[in-house]
Structure 1
């Protein structure tokens, strides 16, 4: 994703600069020398054809909505492996491509939001540092959060759970886990838990930070293990599943019922 974003920005800028230079200098020079007989250079012709397309893709992807694919089971049962989702890029402010710097603040994550972010990493040598991750916000600035025995306590109040039985699993993942409804203030949603709870601890969430966790609580590399998420790492808010397809040409499965589903 980072390479694609870099190439998109680079190609858009390059084609735009070529067109600008041609308009301001080279086109006039050709006209003075040979009038209408000189043909337009191929690089200018290609730039004229591709610049509008590149610019539109860059604007939409950077400031409106961006697609992502779910690669792991950490957000089951709500997001499945093979889900293609759309992420609202302006929910938490307009951000510059590549640097991810906010230049127009528009909002902040709410408790229960499913967010995409640049992974801060367990340490500076973490090979996944900077990659796109997706988790749920369970703690916002000012919150006191505790997680013990697969149960959340928020600002001193235990979060309520409703047992929904045993999860059937999906394509070999999650079978036998307990399916629960978690009444997180802000958004009620489902979670999975096993008999082996992971990531116990307590956190105080300061300004500019968030505690994020996966819905598949015992199979998620999240803020319980690498710490609080900085606001500047946010990429956007997940809001729509537009496809579910696993494997090349969907050879491992295609689920039309997932198309158009909202992210819960």
Structure 2
């Protein structure tokens, strides 16, 4: 996300708000004396009551996002439009993303939106797998947390394009969710330099990491088609945006309108 939409809304709120106050407390007096408003005051002030509620809604309550990649399939599909709860993990100052009120902490199994640690202008979405202090082991396509294998149940095949994946129901914390493995994918574990890189040991496809304080280990549900904490490291607490909880629209960019709209995708998800 190259453009910081929150910053743009904040600046627009400040500018139109200043024009609105000028219009209310100064320009109206001039109008009563027969002096017309400059056009930019009239138009700018009229936008303030529209822009301010949008800014406050996106900053403190819910924010919409669109799923651009398949890393969270089958939970979230490419083309899903989702809502993210901004206050679940605490109230944060707009633009600065500085937490000012503690509410809840992320839990294993949450689907979380966060600022990508390698480039904070981008928003990523993954599932919380490891909490601060956890030891995470991903060996032979199986996940272990603090020495305990995460329970999985076979849920049949899942075809994604020309690829047939194994689908499992995995239980992380109190959340049971679907995840995919591709038995034919035997690529070696990749990594890029990141803070606390020394907390991880990698060999072949296997990754073992200890999550540092104030950080989280994130993974996509599409395990063999997700660049996540196994590659680029841990997510610091200050990068958290919010908890994803609802699909409000879906449109497939491949299929023509209106065939690309899938109303069956609408609803809450785990």
When normalised by structure 2's length, the TM-score is: 0.86
Corresponding position of 2:104: 107
Q: In terms of mean alpha carbon deviation, does 3-12 or 77-86 score higher?
A: 3-12
Matched, 1:17 2:22: no
User: Structure 1 residue aligned with 2:165, among 170, 174, 177?
Assistant: 177
Bigger CA drift: 178-187 or 51-60? Answer: 178-187
CA–CA distance in structure 1, aligned partners of residues 121 and 228 of structure 2: 14
Aligned runs of 1:245-264 on 2, under 5 Å?
245-247=251-253, 250=257, 253-259=260-266, 261-264=267-270
How many matched pairs?
A: 250
**2:77 match:** 80
SS in 2 for 1:120: coil
Q: CA-to-partner distance for each residue in 1:19-41, whole Å, 9 max, x for gaps? A: 2244455555x26xxx4422222
2:153 is the counterpart of 1:162: yes
Q: Determine whether 1:55 maps to 2:52.
A: yes
> 1:45-98: CA deviations, max 9, x gaps?
213311011000000011110110101110001100110000001111111222
The residue that corresponds to 2:9 in the other structure is 8
Q: Under a length normalisation based on structure 1, what TM-score does the superposition of the two structures give?
A: 0.88
SS at 1:37's partner residue?
coil
CA offset at residue 15 of structure 1?
Answer: 0.7
> 2:126 aligned with 1:135, yes or no?
yes
- SS of match in other structure, 1:218: helix
CA deviation profile, 1:185-207 (whole Å, cap 9, x unmatched) = 23111100012256421111122
Q: Where do 5+ consecutive residues of structure 2 fail to align?
A: 190-205
Where structure 1 has 5 or more consecutive residues not aligned to the other structure, the ranges are 122-127
CA RMSD of aligned residues (A): 2.0
For the residue of structure 2 that corresponds to 1:147, the secondary structure is: strand
